[in-house]
Structure 1
Amino acid sequence: MKEERDTTTRTVKRPNFIVIGAAKSGTTALWNYFRQHPQIYMSPKKHTRFFSFQTANPVFRGPGPINDQYISYAIADAATYHALFVGAEEETAIGEASHSYLYVPEAAGRIKSYAPDVRLIAILRNPVERAFSHYSQMVRDGREPSENFFEALKEEAARIEEGWWPDFHYTRMGLYYDQLRRYFDLFERDQIKVYLYDDFRADPVQVLRDAFEFLDVDSTFVPDTSIRYNASGVAKNKTLHLTLQGLRRARPIIKRLVPEKHYRGLLRVGGGLHNKNLTEPRLSAEARGRMTAEYFREDIIKLEDLIERDLSTWLR
């Protein structure tokens, strides 16, 4: 646990590991599963975006996130950021998870300046699946104006040029090579652990055991992985979806009022209802192959060498 003293002589606790992304690839699940480990303290706020943006409410074009007007999009000052970690006590691993850190170019350098010895975890998903999952979530949340995925892809370059929210950068976010290269250029290789979403879905306990070893905590601890977090898809019942979204925004209040065990049970019930209310559309094999060839093939081949993993299944 890294600590320092501020000008008021209070002990300032700082993260010694960060989950940097990617979006729609399991960062929310990692954040939740890490929180169960008795030797890990996770920031109570997911996606602090502290190293991504220098203002609390950055200005982008396009339909914005549906957030509580009293909650800032990003944490932009060090005091507020450090306040997230005051609850850490005997935990040896202190961390946070913000998937924007992988995508925003400036984040790697800012993290290096802040904590050069920090450990970094990335989890990567097949970029075609990642893009379609992200699009489906945006449709579900009422932010995506195009009803056709491929039309949205055609508009992506123009949207980026016009300064739309990063959430609409469906293919650009999946070009992992340059994004990870920034971290490998700045940090030692043994400070970076890269997982694949397919492995995580197939055997989450094994991936978590490896991550626990990387963080030097008890790797025999087995968290409850029965809840699927941040699922994408189209709502079957829009009224139920809106109701569950409203309850989701009330989580901080509920968490303060009920014991942790009961809170986790409520999450399981609510998450189950949410996931059962979603239908997840699929891309055809032909569409997947076309997207891979058009947007991702060259990047995937370079990424294989960078992370020293066989990604041939992504190239099919």
Structure 2
Amino acid sequence: MSRPNFFIIGAPKCGTTALAAYLSEHPSVFITNPKEPHHFNTDLNHGSYKSDKDYRSLFLGVSDSVSAVGEASVWYLYSDTAIPNILSKYPDAKFIVMLRNPVEMVYSLHEQMVFSNYENVSSFMDAWALQACRRNGENCPRMCPEPKLLQYKSACSLGFQYERLLSRVDRRKLYTVFYDDFKENPKKVWESLLSFLSVPDDGRVDFPVINSAKKRKSHMLMRVNDLYAKARSTIGFSGFGTGLFSRLNRWNMVFAPREPLPKEFDNLLRREFESDIKLLGELTNRDLRHWLESN
């Protein structure tokens, strides 16, 4: 059985889905399916592959032609235990981290939480205001497996998370991608990343948009679909084989751009993340002052 030798550790809503998808198509790279087993974040009640047996099963049958074997659990960067847990088993592992302006990231993350049925407050401003009481276990959605995922400021404080990461991982084992760079010149980032992973250039020139902003047409239908999936998992039922729920799930999805945040709230977020953005800039030797400018 192959062993993972690299990890895309986050952050969420920073382009990890696209990067993992591109890597999965490279003949010398293997990415787990699902891409986010979340095995090593033992401090978060999140993920379906917590047992060693289930996790190992994800790497069965990897081709001998594959030299880079990895997974892409985006909450590892946020987790306090994931990186130490990984290093205890795979001390030579390489890490890929993707970073984004937290003001953009946090709004996108809330939308994803709503889409995934982890968040039951559709207004981001209202959900932001609930962080304090949720930290005390109040007003947490029943369908959310881990309330810490709804602590939006902590989840998007990338400066703090990156500083902690550097205290644990040798920079030579770390590849950092800024979302803006990946979006503006994906080929340049791609070629540099392949060099980091020590795999040959596959000649990729097409980098399609993946995981665009999306919403649900019906949250009731989404809940029914989630309950059906949970019931199948609980009783070990393989399904009816009709594909009906998969078709309903696709029908229930609509791609739509996010509405701009009110200017006052946008400015509030920039003030909230100001010190963290400055810290991240210092750690990465990057001028990020434009992240603090109002739209």
TM-score grouping bracket, smaller chain normalisation: 0.7 to 0.9
Q: CA deviation at 1:111?
A: 1.3
| SS of equivalent residue, structure 1 residue 14 | coil
Is 1:194 the counterpart of 2:194? The answer is no
Is 1:209 the counterpart of 2:198? The answer is no
Note the 1:1-316 alignment, pairs <5 A: 12-53=1-42, 58=45, 73-89=47-63, 90-162=65-137, 165-222=147-204, 224-229=206-211, 231-235=212-216, 237-238=217-218, 277-293=255-271, 295-316=272-293
Instruction: Evaluate the alpha carbon distance shift between residue 88 and residue 95 of structure 1 in structure 2; reply closer, same or farther with a 3 A threshold.
Output: same
Instruction: Evaluate the alpha carbon distance shift between residue 186 and residue 140 of structure 1 in structure 2; reply closer, same or farther with a 3 A threshold.
Output: closer
Structure 2: 5+ residue runs without aligned partners?
141-145, 230-237, 239-249
Distance in 1 between residues matched to 2:161 and 2:108, nearest whole Å? 20
Distance in 2 between residues matched to 1:107 and 1:290, nearest whole Å? 31
**TM-score, length-normalised on structure 1?**
0.75
Distance in 2 between residues matched to 1:299 and 1:313, nearest whole Å? 14
Q: CA deviation at 1:308?
A: 1.8
Q: CA deviation at 1:144?
A: 2.6
Instruction: Evaluate the alpha carbon distance shift between residue 212 and residue 285 of structure 1 in structure 2; reply closer, same or farther with a 3 A threshold.
Output: farther
Q: Quick one: percent identity of the two aligned structures?
A: 30
Structure 1: 5+ residue runs without aligned partners?
1-11, 60-72, 254-271
Instruction: Evaluate the alpha carbon distance shift between residue 315 and residue 34 of structure 1 in structure 2; reply closer, same or farther with a 3 A threshold.
Output: same
Distance in 1 between residues matched to 2:43 and 2:109, nearest whole Å? 25
**RMSD (Å) for aligned C-alpha atoms:** 3.2
**TM-score, length-normalised on structure 2?**
0.80
> What is the letter of the counterpart of residue 305 of structure 1?
E
Q: CA deviation at 1:109?
A: 0.9
Distance in 2 between residues matched to 1:238 and 1:201, nearest whole Å? 31
Q: How many residues align?
A: 268
1:172-198 deviation line (CA, Å, top 9, x unaligned): 111112212222112211111111111
Instruction: Evaluate the alpha carbon distance shift between residue 176 and residue 279 of structure 1 in structure 2; reply closer, same or farther with a 3 A threshold.
Output: closer
